[in-house]
A and B are shown apart, each in its own frame.
Chain A
Amino acid sequence: MLAAPSKPCHVTIVHRHPPSKLYSEEEMVDNICSSSSDEDIKSTNHNTEIEYKHDDENLQSEEFEETPLYAAILTYLSYAILCLFGWLRDFLRDSHIEKKRGALDPNATLGFVPLYQSYESFYTRNMYTRVRDIFNRPIASVPGAQFELTERISDDYNWTYRYTGKTINAINLGSYNYLGFAEKSGPCATDAINAIKTFGVGNCNSRIELGTQRYHVELERLLADFLHVESSIAFGMGFATNALNLPALASKGDLILSDEMNHVSLILGMRLSGATYQTFAHNDMKDLEKKLRAAIVHGHPRTNRPWKKIIIVVEGVYSMEGSICRLPELMQLKKKYKAYLYMDEAHSIGAMGKQGRGIVDYFGVDANEVDILMGTFTKSFGSAGGYIAGKKSLIDHIRVTSHANTYASSMSAPLVQQIMSSLKLLKCPEGKRRICQLADNTRYFRQKLVDMGFIVFGNKNSPVVPMLIYMPARVTRFNREMLRRGVAVVTVGFPATKLLDARVRFCISAAHTRQMLDTALMAIDEVGTDISLRYSTRHKSRRLREL
């Protein structure tokens, strides 16, 4: 399940050069640029020369340490005990010794078939509800680097909540805000407000009928320019972009090879398309090659007919693992076996690469070589929606056959304006500063965690930082203790991850200052010592003050 240990990652220590004003040489694109040039911007352009060396080994170094044996045993034991208690409680409830909490079926006595099988909701009743307070926490402010959580208290072990009306201020390590565009003031917000005044909020029709506004066309042109491709098309929802457009690209008689850690939207899209799909081991290029060869040589498993086409579906940055797809090797395989590549850059667009153009930028590959580039605007651009980019023939085909283009409502004006403003900002020094800040923050944070002795997965440059906790009780305690210390984190367990691999996932943002990261690291240090989370056998366990 876990990949074989790769070479230990090398630490690149980045020295900051003294600030110098280089941006006067660059062209001002917009008001956005001129408004931000008034700030004292530390130029990190020199740093980018050092950091983004085109060195494959360095760029792809990832670590996936194996689960320590005692952690695995204890985790299984925890789940076994939880199951036992769950059965006991269910028994008590069924025999009316304990009151049944939760909602009851109004049709229960009328002879209807039960809506949910009791084993399906066993997990919900007995495990999820106990720890429900760590999920779905409502916030009362902009989800920036720091935010306000609404305080909610449960008097009956999370079956119901009441809101006290107060808010808790916390550092936000959970929201997808890689470039810090979740702002309520500033040039992007002002532009969005102007867009509402000019265009209203909704359009009430699909793109193909009467929903295409001039700003949609403008957005798609800007996006294609930004990505260095011929053409692009944007949709209102990232999830739907995958689910509704894969059927337009693949159909019965095609083969889709997808990475085993792909997102649910990709899997839904593959199922809806009617094509056959197989998974290959996560980021394992040898396995992929083996499957490609077998597919071409033997064809369809039952009829032996050759496949009409083969599409490889990968993600740029995997949101639960923190790993990056191996693009150079994928390009080689793709050329060798004449397959097509679909890359989902939901988490990597804006966040990776010297200019924020995603994984193609990170590896220095020509964007036109990847057949289908897909991404979302939710994470790095502070808006909502998704896009697909590539050659004009591809995009035209999608316009004609996509479900979302024909039936779904077109994007709302302020959301489009936010994307356009942030795209323009990325060309300015302010944008470049954010990209470098994110890279810097990522490396700093990851390095500190690893040095303290925690098991951290993934590529050292990916802003998604999963730290392994394994046991469900520790996961919950970690989350609650961190919040008590003013840091909001996202913890995930089964079924979002494998049973053993419950983890906490930090999302680093360019808006985080060094201070905030240090506060968070101190909290992690304390809580990590309290709960004994230093599992790593490759790195010595140390306290933060020793580093």
Chain B
Amino acid sequence: MGSSMARGDIENLATDFFGLFESFKHAPFYHIIIEVSLLLAVVWLLFFRKPRPIEKKLTEKEKQELIDEWQPEPLVPPVDSNHPALNVRVLDGIVGKTVEIDGRKSLNFATFNFLNFVGNQRIADKAIQAVQKYGVGSCGPRGFYGTIDIHLELEERLAKFFSCEEGIIYSYGFSTIASIIPAYSKRNDILFVDEGVHYAIQKGVEASRSHVKWFRHNDINDLERLLAEQDVLDKKNPKKARTIRRFLIIEGLYVNYGDICPLPRMVELKYKYKYRIFIDESVSFGTIGQTGRGITEYYEYSIGSIGGFAVGSSFVVDHQRLSAQGYCFSASLPPLLAAAAIEALNIMEEDHTLLFETIMAKSKRLHKKLLSIKGYIINGDEISALKHLRLTNSLNTVGRLEEIVQFAQSRDITITVARYLTDEHHLPEPSIRLILNVEMTDEELEFLCTVLQEALVKVTA
């Protein structure tokens, strides 16, 4: 039954189609064109048109209303007038072994003047000679007549001092490392950075836009773990791995902690995992002596002048002359500061062993004395001239440390609480940063310890 009905239907259907077909043949041409295009339009509408979001077309009036309504935030938020930055101690005169504040002289354990070059007569004389020959400023970046022969001399001397091929100098310590890191490390590269590095390095790392892997402060095992992880990823994709550069960024002597990095082990790992090392030796240069060789530094501190430099093989250092922003686009170091630095290098080379032996020995003695004061935690290597002093656990607040500093000031000892910005990557614990000047006598060191002890009693009472 079904089939007979189906056959009938099919026959009807076939007739209908035939009739349709015939009618097409007889239809005028334009009719067919219109039908076909309508058909195509329907197909397009159904399948190919992307759903367009309904655009919010604002009228001019509405736009003006929005503009009138919009209220920006004030340019700067209100600031606490008790913030230490607004209440600094103002100094007078040369900031050497002693410092004068409001007419009173006190022993200076706060500035980074390790070798007591600030106020050194020889250095001052050379700086004066430089002013008489070159004027004060250099009036241009290195590329445009800002290169003075004294810069070239200083670069050569630094390279020789470190037994490296070439040196390059910058006009500002902070921007030295902050320009060097982005000059080498780009978006696809990997940086292994110690957590305890100081702020300038953090900014350099940020400016480079590379992948950053932080490892725990001075923890070589943590570093190995990260390197091994990266190695595994490399083996999965060797082609990509061959285009990723790796760098290890550490400090010779950490400004925030006072301890020394385990360099030999890191050099071993360097050849195993194939990364390049950048060492920031701001504090270790001139104070540690023997282990103080590296690739990047700034000598703002122990050399009694201002600026920064980097030394290394020509292949590496030359690149910075065109790519380091702080070198190419900034005025060069004023010649008098370069002259001061050369003279300081002269003094360091003449006095080579004595000065550094003395400072290391005194640091050890001070370390022992400080350890004997109960109630303080001393951070820092024993030969390091820079130490961090903290109170035991729950007592360690900035407020108490400030009280200690004020008490010391009243007894004519100048020390300072280490200051940081709140957006540091790994904010160190509050501490007092003690810096040893090589010219301090043993009696003065004793006096310092006595005062610290008395301060402790007063604060914890």
Binding site for B on A (CB under 8 A): 102-107, 110-116, 121, 124, 128, 135-144, 147, 149-150, 172, 174-177, 181-185, 188-189, 192-193, 196-214, 217, 236-240, 243-244, 249, 263-265, 268, 271-272, 293, 296-297, 306-310, 337-340, 371-372, 376-379, 381-384, 393-394, 396-401, 403-409, 412, 414-415, 418, 488, 490
Q: Please, which residues of chain B bring their CB within 8 A of the CB of A121?
A: 319
A176 to B330, alpha carbons, bound, how many Å? 12
Contact in complex: B72, A309 (CB < 8 Å):
yes
B284 in contact (CB, < 8 A): no
Q: Is the CB of A268 within 8 A of B132?
A: no
Contact (Cβ within 8 A) A400 B300: no
Pick from A124, A177, A184, A310: contact of B139, CB under 8 Å: A177
Evaluate contact between A239 and B71: CB separation under 8 angstroms. Answer: no
Stretch at the interface among B46-54, B223-231, B346-354, B416-424: B416-424
Instruction: Evaluate contact between B334 and A384: CB separation under 8 angstroms.
Output: yes
Q: Mind listing 25 A-B residue pairs with CB under 8 Å?
A: A102-B318, A138-B149, A147-B145, A150-B149, A176-B140, A184-B133, A185-B132, A199-B94, A201-B118, A204-B118, A205-B110, A207-B88, A208-B88, A209-B88, A211-B111, A240-B172, A249-B76, A297-B66, A378-B137, A383-B137, A384-B138, A384-B334, A397-B79, A406-B85, A409-B172
A189 neighbours in B (Cβ, 8 Å): 131-132, 135-136
Question: Which residue of the partner chain, among A107, A209, A214, A244, contacts B90 with CB atoms under 8 Å?
Answer: A214
Q: Is the Cβ of B72 less than 8 Å from the Cβ of A310?
A: yes
B210-218, B238-246, B371-379 - the one binding chain A:
B238-246
**In the assembled complex, B340 has its CB within 8 A of some CB on chain A:** yes
Contact for A182 among B110, B127, B139, CB less than 8 A: B139
Contact partners of B333 in chain A: CB under 8 A: 384
Q: Which residues of A contact B20 (CB under 8 A)?
A: none
B292 within 8 A of A: no
Which residues of A are found within 8 Å of B110, using beta-carbon distances?
205, 209-210
Q: Of residues 138 to 164 in B, which have CB atoms within 8 Å of A's CB atoms?
A: 138-140, 142-149, 151-152
Decide: B79 and A203 in contact? CB cutoff 8 A: no
User: Is B329 close to A, CB under 8 A?
Assistant: yes
Residue among A338, A383, A407 making CB contact with B174, cutoff 8 Å: A407
Known: A189-B136, A200-B94, A296-B66. A339 touches B72 (CB 8 A): yes
Within the complex, what minimum Cβ distance (angstroms) separates A502 from chain B?
14
Cβ 8 A contact of A205, one of B94, B111, B123, B175: B111
Q: How far is the CA of A307 from the CA of B58 in the complex (A)?
A: 19
Q: Are the C-beta atoms of B111 and A203 separated by less than 8 Å?
A: yes
Cα-based distance from A307 to B151 in the complex (angstroms)? 46
The reply to whether A377 and B83 contact each other, CB–CB distance below 8 Å, is no
Given A176-B140, A204-B301, A296-B66, A212–B73 Cβ distance below 8 Å? Answer: no
B410 to chain A, nearest CB (A): 16
From known contacts A103-B313, A111-B274, infer whether A197 and B76 are also in contact, taking CB-CB under 8 Å.
Answer: no
What would 19 more interface pairs be, CB under 8 Å, given A112-B276, A240-B172? A106-B313, A107-B276, A121-B319, A140-B148, A142-B133, A175-B146, A184-B135, A201-B127, A207-B85, A209-B88, A210-B108, A210-B416, A214-B90, A236-B172, A381-B137, A382-B139, A404-B174, A405-B85, A406-B199
- Enumerate the 10 nearest inter-chain pairs by beta-carbon distance, A residue then B residue, closest first: A237-B172, A397-B76, A239-B330, A103-B314, A103-B315, A142-B135, A309-B72, A175-B139, A408-B174, A378-B331
A272 to B135, CA, bound (A): 34
Residue of B nearest to A148 (CB): B149
Of the candidates B92, B111, B329, B419, the one whose C-beta lies within 8 Å of that of A204 is B111
Tell me the complex Cα distance, A181–B86, Å: 32
Please tell me which one of the listed residues B73, B113, B172 contacts residue A309 in the complex, with CB atoms under 8 A apart.
B73
Closest residue on chain A to residue B112 by CB atoms: A204
A396 touches B86 (CB 8 A): yes
Query: B171-185 interface mask toward A, CB cutoff 8 Å, 1 = contact, 0 = none?
Result: 111110010000010
The reply on B75 being an interface residue by CB < 8 A is yes
Q: Give Cα A112 to B334, complex, Å.
A: 38
- Check A110 against B274 for contact (C-beta < 8 Å): yes
Contacts of A237 in B (CB 8 A): 171-172, 174-175, 326, 330-331
Binary interface profile of B, 97-130, with partner A (CB < 8 Å = 1, else 0)?
Answer: 0010000000010111100011110011001100
Q: Which of A107, A138, A181, A201 contacts B336 (CB 8 A)?
A: A201
For residue A240, which residues in chain B have a CB less than 8 angstroms away from its CB?
A: 172, 174-175, 326, 330
Q: Is B198 an interface residue (CB 8 A)?
A: yes
B167 CB to closest chain A CB (Å) equals 14
The answer on a CB contact under 8 Å between B330 and A238 is yes
Give chain B residues whose Cβ lies under 8 Å from the Cβ of A105: 315
Q: Which residue of B is nearest A173, CB measured?
A: B145
**CA A383 to CA B137, docked complex, whole Å:** 4
CB–CB B139/A412 < 8 A: no
Are B124 and A210 in contact, CB atoms less than 8 angstroms apart?
Answer: no
